[in-house]
Amino acid sequence: MIAGSVAASLVLASPPARGWLESSMSAQMLLQLPLLAAIGVCSASAIPAAVRGALARWDRWGISGLLLASMTSLVWMLPRALDAAVDDVGVAAAKYATVPLLIGLPLALSWGRAGFVLRGVFLAETIATCFRLGWLYRVSPERLCSNYLLDDQQRLGDWLMVIGAALFLALMGKLLLGRFDFRTDAQAQEGRH
Amino acid sequence: MAALTMYPESERLSAGERAAFNLYMISAVILFVLMMLLGVIMRMAQGTWLEVPPDLFYQFLSMHGAGMVGTMGMVTTAVMWFFLRKYVNLHLWAFVANYVLFLLGALCIIGAIFLGRYAGLWTFLYPLPTHSMGMWPNASGAWFMIGYLLIGVGMLLFYLDAAAGLIRKYGNLGRSLGVQWLFGGTIDPEHPKAVVASTMVIIANSLGILAGAVVLVMYLVGIAYPEFKLDPLVAKNLTYWFGHMYINATIYMGVIAVYELLARYSGRPYAISRPFLWSWAASTIFVIIVFPHHLLMDYAQPRWVSITGQIISYSAGFPVFLVTVWGALANIHRSGMRWTMPSRLLILSMFGWAAGILPAILDGTISINRVMHNTQWVPGHFHFYLLLGVLPMALALMYHVMGSYRNQAPNSGADRLGLPLYLLGGLVFTLAFLAAGHLSVARRMSSHLPEWVFTDQMGAAGAILVLLAMIYFAARISIGLLRGPVSGHAAHAAA
Amino acid sequence: MDTLRTLLLSLLIVIAGGATLGAATDGLRVFTTESARRLAVREHAVRVPDLALQAANGDQIALQDLRGNWLLVDFIYTRCQTYCSVLGSDFARLQDRLAAPLASGRLQLLSISFDPEHDGPAQLAAYQRRFGDRGSGWLAARPLDAEGVAAATRAFGIRVLDDGLGGYVHNASIALVDPQGRLVRIFDAGQPEVVAAALQAVLAQ
């Protein structure tokens, strides 16, 4: 699994893939960053149980992990950071390392520990952020990233709003009509002792 | 039937719960008195009995609006919590977190207004908070909105905890709302009306809070980066979506007290029915999409949105309102109702809600809205249902809990005097607003034409009566709640 | 115990995250590359390297030769239909507003093309005429080759993107170079009155 994750990261970091994924703002934010985070999510299963147990003691209710993922995401939402990741090899390396390890991985490890309320706050904030960023990209009269064109930025704004709306509808559908399994909560309760 | 036990064991407040409940209720009655005091000052200023400079007037108006709406939200949240905790597992931490965040938010708002001179009102129109023409610094606008965000986050925490409880017990929110019984099937007669109403509020108000979380942060970004210009109409729609939902949620949380308590005082079961479920399911959707009726005067708004707003505003409040008032009337008709403070307040709330909805529906009509959507008719309408409808619902619960401490419904001579005073003052106060609104088009808060002064003075007189009654209620309730259960009455003895 | 540990870790995460965010935004002051560049220039003047250019009259000049005067520099390409047209009229209006220092030679306006293949001396001269060159103190020039373009844009932090329509998108701004040859300020395009006021203040010192 680790090998697979490393291989996937290398594929994404290869010049052709990187060139394509960073050719537009939309591709970088909607494909590259999510794919990197997904690599982190997938590598969670490779973490040995002993390490997981140790981590769990520092991550009650998943708070630390979700906080880490949120803070890291905040950094990679800065237009300046997106620019720098294209122009500067060091920042690019930081992106390839931190998005899987500090966003994807903690999300995967902490989600199961998080209770209903924390998950709800996290999802609501994710949806709201999609709408806020989308709205900003739509109305900004200037290019926020020096490396990308204005129409690209506006298209990304549209996409973010569509994604926000889709997430919202999915969440509402789940809450209103879905099936819920509270076993994860029970596990979290056991984990406390 | 268990519902007919006056003070059921399941409503007993543990020591921690009682402390939290008291914090909510006593803070609320104190805030109500203070906010009413501001209201009296403003009406007296309009009636030329007092001289208040315009900038201070708008600060008072901002404080009164935000303070009343927020306090109404807080106190009705406590009503919802009090009854919902009997049916589903609620965590006290979520209830307390909401209170703490509310207080922090209130501090931000009070600071923004009285230290920062913010005077852009409780629902502000873009770009007002950020373009004050030098009346207040941008930081004040920012603090005001941060206050809102804190209050919103607190409410969201409470709602999410309640949603978790509902889902754990009923499977999902659709089932707790009762949609599985809309088209047939045997309705579980024990399905609590409090659960149905709470579900509706959680769905609708969370949506409003989400809209607020988006638009308030966009305002904040706009303060830091003025080059980001929002579409004023979109900003207004979202602001009103959020504001409308928040204040409407107070009715739907408050009415839980009627559902739960009325049957106990009338001594007759108040059964759940298919029309009841239909009305709540319909209102869940309507209340989410009815907000455009606040924007009927915005000519830039697409026509279809305004027309939808008018149609929905006819139908939005109606289902729940009809089914509730009809149900309440049927419940008390020839029931040998025991007339004590809680039951009087419950009946008053039904009257206030019923009568208050009429001016709302009139104002929701585009052709009338064009002339009567003014600074008198609109407050006339919402003061009617908030002052005479929603607040009595919350007061009824406070009196009921006081009764539970002594196993006897409160009904002192002073209570029997205070309530008519409140009703009389409230009627004079709200009817003065409505009369003035009917008489005049698009009045301005800052001008006092001689023709307007009479209704303003009537309103001020009514407001003074309400304030006096409220001061009495606040003192009586604070003392009664703090005194706690009398030993010997086991029903509510502290755990 | 677990709760305390989690609280401690969360606090550390918030502090570390806040520090990273603070560093990445220069203390929440800049969020974009462009604003970061402007702030950096204001706080620490950047030495501009010497650049070899060809002026609209065909003469070879070096940036070095212009030292000793204040210099306002913008980047253009003459076929531009959008931003550069703002810059062009900005310079013409600055010629009016700053006529005295331009006449005395204390100040020089310089437009550099980042598209030397298309922008020969004739095109540069036509560009100046099109925007109403008042005939004093405004040089238009092009680097001699692609490397010269790269050196110039790098020195001034200009990013040029293909707009997909045969033209370019670039940051439209006016850079101020002091008599020691250091980049000290960057102004927005489209606000010649702001630039003129700032220059008058600088020249009065």
Q: How would you write the pLDDT of chain B (495 residues) with one tens digit per residue?
A: 444 788 999 999 999 999 999 999 999 999 999 999 999 999 999 999 999 998 899 999 999 999 999 999 999 999 999 999 999 999 999 999 999 999 999 999 999 999 999 999 998 888 888 788 888 999 999 999 999 999 999 999 999 999 999 999 999 999 999 999 999 889 999 999 999 999 999 999 999 999 999 999 999 988 888 888 888 889 989 998 999 899 999 999 999 999 999 989 988 888 888 989 998 998 888 888 877 777 777 778 888 888 877 777 777 667 777 888 888 888 888 777 878 999 999 999 999 988 887 777 777 777 777 777 888 888 998 999 999 999 999 999 999 999 999 988 888 889 989 999 999 999 999 999 999 888 876 667 777 778 888 999 999 999 999 999 999 999 999 999 999 888 655 444 443
Residue of A nearest to C36 (CA): A80
Parallel, antiparallel, or unpaired for β C70-76 and C107-113?
parallel
Nearest to C13 among A56, A71, A145 (CB): A71
Residues 6+ apart with CB under 8 A from B121: B58, B61, B62, B65, B128
From C88's Cα to the closest Cα of chain A, the distance in A is 20
Residue A57 φ/ψ, nearest 5 degrees: -70, -20
Partner C contacted by A193 (CB < 8 A): no
Parallel, antiparallel, or unpaired for β C168-170 and C160-162?
antiparallel
CA A13 → CA A44, A86, A90, A93, B155, distances in Å?
A: 20, 12, 13, 9, 44
A176:B167 CB<8 A: no
Q: Angle at CA B247, nearest 5°, toward B243 and B250? A: 150
Partner C contacted by A90 (CB < 8 A): no
A chain contacts of residue B168, beta-carbon cutoff 8 Å? 180, 182
Residue of A nearest to B93 (CA): A117
* Burial class of C1 by CB neighbour count within 10 A (0 to 12, 13 to 18, 19+): exposed
pLDDT score of A170 more than 50: yes
End-to-end CA distance of chain B: 25
Per-residue pLDDT at C132? 87
Query: Is the sign of the CA dihedral C10, C11, C12, C14 positive or negative?
Result: positive
Interface residues on A facing B, Cβ-Cβ cutoff 8 A = 115-117, 120-121, 124-125, 127-128, 131-132, 135-136, 139-142, 168, 172, 174-180, 182
| Mean pLDDT across A63-86 | 94
CA B50 → CA B40, B41, B59, B449, C204, distances in Å?
A: 10, 7, 16, 15, 55
Measured between alpha carbons, how far is C125 from C135 in angstroms, rounded to an integer?
11
Per-residue pLDDT at B442? 63
A149:C161 CB<8 A: yes
Partner A contacted by B213 (CB < 8 A): yes
From A49's Cα to the closest Cα of chain B, the distance in A is 29
Partner A contacted by B115 (CB < 8 A): no
Q: Which contacts (CB < 8 Å, 24+ apart) does range B399-402 have?
A: B399/B340, B399/B341, B399/B342, B399/B345, B399/B477, B399/B480, B400/B257, B400/B261, B400/B342, B401/B13, B401/B21, B401/B82, B401/B481, B401/B492, B402/B477, B402/B480, B402/B481
Nearest to A75 among C20, C32, C163 (CB): C20
Per-residue pLDDT at B131? 80
B chain contacts of residue A176, beta-carbon cutoff 8 Å? 172-174, 177, 179, 203
Considering only the C-alpha atoms of chain B, give the largest distance between any 2 of them, rounded to a whole number of Å.
68
Strand partners for C143: C53
Nearest to B168 among A121, A141, A182 (CB): A182
A136:B218 CB<8 A: yes
Partner C contacted by A60 (CB < 8 A): yes
Q: Measuring CA to CA, which residue among B159, B204, B196, B190 is closest to residue B176?
A: B196
Strand partners for C47: C182
SS3 B79: helix
Residue C125 near residue C88 (C-beta atoms within 8 A): no
Measured between alpha carbons, how far is A117 from B204 in angstroms, rounded to an integer?
17
Domain span including residue A87:
2-192
Give percent above pLDDT 90 in chain C. Answer: 59
| Kind and range of the H or E run holding C139 | strand C138-143
Strand partners for C187: C174
C6:A74 CB<8 A: no
DSSP C25-69: TTTTT--SHHHHHHHHHHHS-EEPPP-EEEETTS-EEEGGGGTTS
pLDDT score of A76 more than 50: yes
Task: Give me Rg for the CA atoms of chain C.
Answer: 21
pLDDT score of A86 more than 80: yes
Nearest to B228 among A117, A120, A136 (CB): A136
Residues 6+ apart with CB under 8 A from A151: none
From B181's Cα to the closest Cα of chain A, the distance in A is 14
Instruction: Give the chains touching B; criterion: ≥3 Cβ pairs < 8 Å.
Output: A
pLDDT score of A57 more than 80: yes
- Tokens, residue B73: 């939200």
Residue of C nearest to A72 (CA): C17
Q: What's the mean per-residue pLDDT of chain A?
A: 90
pTM of the full structure? 0.90
Residue B337 φ/ψ, nearest 5 degrees: -55, 140
* Number of domains within chain A: 1
For the ranges A171-185, B39-53, C15-29, C111-125, the lowest mean pLDDT is seen at A171-185
Per-residue pLDDT at B94? 97
Q: Which contacts (CB < 8 Å, 24+ apart) does range A4-11 have?
A: A4/A42, A4/A43, A5/A39, A5/A40, A5/A42, A5/A43, A5/A46, A5/A100, A8/A35, A8/A39, A8/A42, A9/A36, A9/A39, A9/A96, A9/A100
Q: Measuring CA to CA, which residue among C88, C91, C89, C87 is closest to residue C99?
A: C91
Residue of A nearest to C11 (CA): A64
Nearest to C6 among A59, A78, A148 (CB): A59
SS3 B13: coil
Q: What's the mean per-residue pLDDT of chain C?
A: 90
C32:A75 CB<8 A: no
Cis? peptide before B302, omega within 30° of 0: no
Q: Angle at CA B235, nearest 5°, toward B229 and B236? A: 135
Residue B88 near residue B165 (C-beta atoms within 8 A): yes
Partner C contacted by A47 (CB < 8 A): no
pLDDT band for A192, please (50, 70, 90 cuts).
Answer: very low
* Contact map slice: B 158-177 vs A, CB within 8 A: 160-161, 163-164, 167-168, 171-174, 177
Residue B172 near residue A175 (C-beta atoms within 8 A): yes
CA C89 → CA B117, C80, C104, C119, distances in Å?
A: 43, 13, 22, 18
Q: Regarding predicted confidence, which is higher, A28 or B302?
A: A28
Partner C contacted by A97 (CB < 8 A): no
Residue of A nearest to C15 (CA): A71
Per-residue pLDDT at A183? 57
Q: What's chain A's length in residues?
A: 193
A135:B164 CB<8 A: no
Residue of A nearest to C5 (CA): A58
SS3 A186: helix
For the ranges A163-177, B79-93, C121-135, the lowest mean pLDDT is seen at C121-135
C13:A68 CB<8 A: yes
A146:C171 CB<8 A: yes
B210:A120 CB<8 A: no
A chain contacts of residue C31, beta-carbon cutoff 8 Å? 78-80, 144
Per-residue pLDDT at A6? 84
Partner C contacted by A119 (CB < 8 A): no
* Burial class of B410 by CB neighbour count within 10 A (0 to 12, 13 to 18, 19+): buried
B221:A121 CB<8 A: no
Per-residue pLDDT at B316? 67
Strand order across the beta sheet in which C182-188 lies: C46-47, C182-188, C173-177, C70-76, C107-113, C138-143, C52-55, C60-62
- Tokens, residue B194: 């409090």
C6:A64 CB<8 A: yes
C131-178 pLDDT tens trace: 888 888 899 999 999 999 999 999 998 989 888 888 898 888 999 999
Residue of B nearest to A168 (CA): B207
Domain C47-204, CATH homologous superfamily name and number: Glutaredoxin (3.40.30.10)
Measured between alpha carbons, how far is A171 from A180 in angstroms, rounded to an integer?
12
